[in-house]
Amino acid sequence: MNIILLGPPGAGKGTQAQRLVDSYGLVQLSTGDMLRAAVKQGSDVGKRAKGFMDAGALVPDEVVIGIIAERIDEPDCANGFILDGFPRTVAQAEALDRMLEEKGLGLDAVIEMEVDDEALVERITGRFACASCGAGYHDKFQQPQKEGVCDKCGGTEFVRRADDNRETVVSRLKAYHEQTAPLLPYYRKRGKLKTVDGMASIDDVTRQVKEVLNNLAAAQ
Ligand code: ADP
Ligand code: AMP
């Protein structure tokens, strides 16, 4: 099964993707994570991307399309993947269509997570993650069971993203509405779009997403 999780920054794409990896054995392909890793390494891609990411703007299409094209070719993607944060422009969606066609692969569903802008600011500014395994948390909505200890790996160090601040969030939301929201009619027209209520609790969103995936599996 190959799916896209589509939604504004902070909608809960990464949170749900981590849960789907655990329960369906799919691979999570997060362009945000790949770009942050490239910035950390100081690679050419990282050097090109950093300024855009710090400003809350989208990284140029050709850079992001290049990293996804390489990643999708790796053998672990053959069992199915969840795209998280890609595509983010119509040009990226068209490039993805071409890539999948060349490989004889299909896209099963695009799951839109609908969340109000006001809720997104609170979600993004309260987000943190385990420094060892990357498990995601929130100051208010998803705290580790034992304070200061990661539920997944027992790690005790946590990190916050440099771009998760109020100023950058405004630019990121603007980029979403202007450049990414046009993907909703793009996929609706192709009969791929399924929408879930992303304002619900984390567990309830998981239930909704699984319902979509189970219905798809039953129809196949
Ligand atoms: P995205 O990957 O779409 O940018 P995340 O999955 O990282 O978003 O979620 C952003 C923050 O909001 C995280 O700190 C996460 O714990 C929290 N979060 C995710 N889904 C929900 C939800 N349904 N309700 C409340 N908080 C949530
Ligand atoms: P994310 O982790 O998905 O919130 O992405 C963090 C930042 O990485 C974004 O604000 C963009 O600067 C960049 N980015 C991630 N994915 C893409 C993409 N598909 N296209 C362009 N820029 C991206």
Residue 98: predicted pLDDT: 97
Query: Does a cis peptide bond (omega within 30 degrees of 0) precede residue 87?
Result: yes
Pocket lining: 205 vs ligand 1, CB cutoff 6 Å: yes
Residue 4: predicted pLDDT: 98
Is 160 a residue of the active site? Answer: no
Tens digits of per-residue pLDDT, 85-120?
Answer: 999 999 999 999 999 999 999 999 999 999 999 999
**Average pLDDT of every residue of the chain:** 96
Calculate Rg over the CA atoms of the chain. Answer: 17
Is 88 a residue of the active site? Answer: yes
| CA-nearest residue, atom 9 of ligand 1 | 12
Task: Judge whether residue 22 has pLDDT over 90.
Answer: no
Cα 10 from Cα 14, distance rounded (Å): 9
Closest ligand to the CA of 57: 2
HSE-up (13 A, CA, CB side) for residue 103: 19
Tens digits of per-residue pLDDT, 64-87?
Answer: 999 999 999 999 999 899 999 999
HSE-up (13 A, CA, CB side) for residue 120: 21
| Residue 135 phi, psi (nearest 5) | -55, 135
Centroid of ligand 1 to alpha carbon of 136 (angstroms): 8
Closest ligand to the CA of 199: 1
pTM for this structure?
Answer: 0.97
Pocket of ligand 2 (CB under 6 A): 9, 31-32, 35, 52-53, 56-59, 64, 85-86, 88, 92, 172
Centroid of ligand 1 to alpha carbon of 141 (angstroms): 8
Pocket lining: 121 vs ligand 1, CB cutoff 6 Å: no
